[in-house]
């Protein structure tokens, strides 16, 4: 039994004749750094969303540590397996509104020291806590969205093209963060088109037209 088992996953939406995913199977071992690659529209984001429990497959299963994720409490599962969107989803008005959210859902008191230490890990000063979301650059928004997912480290981190469109400086900072998260023992599955990331990737699974390409 692998850490995560994606088994015979097919995904179809009602108004479309063709499958978005067809019998996709692969496994993820603990401490893996797995890369999903392939052409745009191939189904990579759909796979990550299924692994994150955000959508349910038409057929097939995802097992996490041997348990079918469809039988697990969704809120608890999402704390263990965390999905970072291709386009960061931010809310509220300020950086603090976003960084306090992970504490709120766990009914914990906001810890500003912890939040500031994570800001510094992505090269953002503590003064950013009160900064308005609307004043952040694209790279700063993505960096903040990432640390929001990491304030309470998950067991598995699903990264959906989180460096796409970032300037080189932001990209470097994000790579450093991902490296340190990996060293902390978090299992990572990433989707990327980035040439450098593909070159440095270990195991790559190619997804083409909704299937794993052998």
Footprint of ligand ADP (CB under 6 A): 13, 16, 20, 40-46
- 163 near Mg ion, judged by CB under 5 A: no
Distances (CA, A) of 39 to 35, 190, 207: 13, 15, 8
From Mg ion, ligand ADP, none, interface partner of 40 (C-beta below 5 to 8 A by class): ligand ADP
CB of 179 to ligand ADP, least distance (A): 24
From Mg ion, ligand ADP, none, interface partner of 71 (C-beta below 5 to 8 A by class): none
CB of 62 to ligand ADP, least distance (A): 15
**Is the Cβ of residue 12 or residue 121 nearer to ligand ADP in the bound state?**
12
CB 106 within 8 A of CB 75: no
Cα 13-19-23 angle, rounded to 5 deg: 120
The burial of 108, by beta-carbon neighbours within 10 Å (0-12 exposed, 13-18 middle, 19 or more buried), is given as exposed
CB of 46 to ligand ADP, least distance (A): 3
Name the segment binding Mg ion (CB under 5 A); options: 23-31, 38-46, 66-74, 131-139.
38-46
Non-local (6+) Cβ contacts of 18 within 8 A are: 12, 210
CB of 57 to ligand ADP, least distance (A): 12
CB of 162 to ligand ADP, least distance (A): 13
From Mg ion, ligand ADP, none, interface partner of 100 (C-beta below 5 to 8 A by class): none
Which positions from 42 through 61 interact with Mg ion, judged by CB under 5 A? Answer: 45
**Is the Cβ of residue 67 or residue 198 nearer to Mg ion in the bound state?**
198
**Is the Cβ of residue 45 or residue 170 nearer to Mg ion in the bound state?**
45
**Is the Cβ of residue 19 or residue 65 nearer to Mg ion in the bound state?**
19
Q: What is the C-alpha separation between 59 and 115, in angstroms, rounded?
A: 40
**Binding stretches for Mg ion (CB under 5 A):** 45
């Amino acid at each position: 039994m692998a850490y995560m088992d994606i088994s015979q996953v097919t995904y179809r939406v009602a108004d479309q004749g063709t499958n978005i995913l067809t019998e996709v199977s692969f496994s993820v071992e603990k401490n893996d750094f797995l890369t999903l690659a392939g052409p745009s529209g191939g189904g990579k984001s759909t796979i990550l969303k299924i692994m994150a429990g955000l959508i349910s497959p038409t057929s097939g299963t995802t097992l996490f540590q041997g348990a079918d994720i469809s039988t697990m409490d969704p809120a608890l599962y999402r704390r263990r397996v965390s999905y970072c969107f291709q386009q960061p989803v931010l809310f509220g008005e300020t950086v603090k509104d976003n960084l306090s959210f992970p504490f709120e859902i766990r009914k914990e008191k906001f810890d500003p020291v912890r939040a500031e230490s994570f800001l510094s890990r992505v090269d953002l000063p503590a003064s950013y806590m009160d900064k308005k979301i609307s004043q952040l650059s694209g790279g700063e928004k993505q960096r903040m969205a990432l640390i929001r997912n990491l304030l309470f480290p998950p067991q598995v981190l699903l990264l959906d093209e989180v460096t796409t469109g970032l300037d080189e400086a932001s990209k470097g900072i994000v790579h450093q963060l991902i490296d340190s998260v990996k060293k902390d023992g978090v299992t990572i599955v990433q989707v990327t088109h980035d040439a450098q990331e593909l070159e440095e990737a270990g195991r790559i699974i190619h997804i083409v037209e909704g299937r794993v390409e052998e």
